[in-house]
Amino acid sequence: METEPRQHHGPVARVLAAAGHLAIWVGLYFAAAYASAAILLGRAVQLDPLGAAFCAGVGLYLLDRLKLRDDLLDPADLAADERRHRFLRARRRFLRTLAWVMLGLGTILVVAIHPANALLPPIGVLGVLAYSRPRESRRRPKDLLVLKNLMPGCAIAGLGVVLAVQSPVHASRLFGTPVGAEAFTFALAVCVALALLVAADAMLCDLDDVAADRHAKTSTLPVW
């Protein structure tokens, strides 16, 4: 996702741009998705899941951009935002290590919440690898109309809701909190709403990449 202008002037702008390259804004977006889900579900916003969501955002974004090794790098990424990807690729060994460190830290945080959460990191990593796998005869999910946006939307919203339902009920909601099937339906509705919101944000980000996506045969709503 793009979260800052392409042209950067002055030291403050360069620092903000570097933060964007390093996925700081994406990490905060993941954390905000958890916080939004928690508030909507009447749960307390806690530091451990906030930190876990932030680490997931940074780690998964860097993994998506830099892949597992150099021969898997996507030329379309460089064409879409040359400034960002030259920055990332010049530091690719360090940033790949950073991605795994962040994912490891996120794993520690979610497992501390509940041991079953150990399934979340491998699901996220496998999802990223499937989403932007190397180009072959078959088109990738990243190249398909709407699916390109819905996959990250569902992933970010799903992680936020899963962490939110494990947070304690907020003191203001101790009475009248949904339980059982009603609670599940409410959580599902929140997940769908957040997924659509994130997918819409992702579609807006595609406006910057029309030329590169058209050249790479990636179907987005702006291209279509």
Q: What is the pLDDT of residues 90-138, one digit of tens each?
A: 999 999 999 999 999 999 999 999 999 999 999 999 999 988 777 665 6
- Indicate the helix (H) or strand (E) that contains 10: none
Indicate the burial class of 79 (C-beta count within 10 angstroms; 0-12, 13-18, 19 or more).
middle
Determine the pLDDT at residue 3.
46
Determine the pLDDT at residue 32.
98
174 SS3 class = coil
169 SS3 class = strand
Closest CA to 164 of 156, 172, 176, 152: 156
Between 119 and 172, name the one with better pLDDT: 119
Spell 129-158 as b/e; 16+ CB within 10 A means b.
eebbeeeeeeebebbeeeebbbbbbbbbbb
48-to-109, 156, 165 alpha-carbon distances in Å: 6, 17, 13
CB–CB of 185/132 below 8 Å?
no
Rounded CA gap, 105 and 167, in Å? 19
Rounded CA gap, 129 and 126, in Å? 5
> What percent of the chain lies above the pLDDT cut of 90?
60
Q: Which amino acid, one-letter code, is at 174?
A: L
> What is the DSSP-derived secondary structure letter of residue 123?
H
Determine the pLDDT at residue 177.
61
The confidence band for 4, taking pLDDT boundaries of 50, 70 and 90, is very low
Determine the pLDDT at residue 139.
74
pLDDT averaged over every residue in the chain: 88
The confidence band for 161, taking pLDDT boundaries of 50, 70 and 90, is very high
Q: Which residues contact 179 (CB under 8 A, 6 or more apart)?
A: none
pLDDT single digits (tens) 11-32: 888 899 999 999 999 999 999 9
The confidence band for 214, taking pLDDT boundaries of 50, 70 and 90, is confident
Closest CA to 23 of 99, 83, 93: 99
43 SS3 class = strand
Residue 146 has pLDDT above 80, yes or no: yes
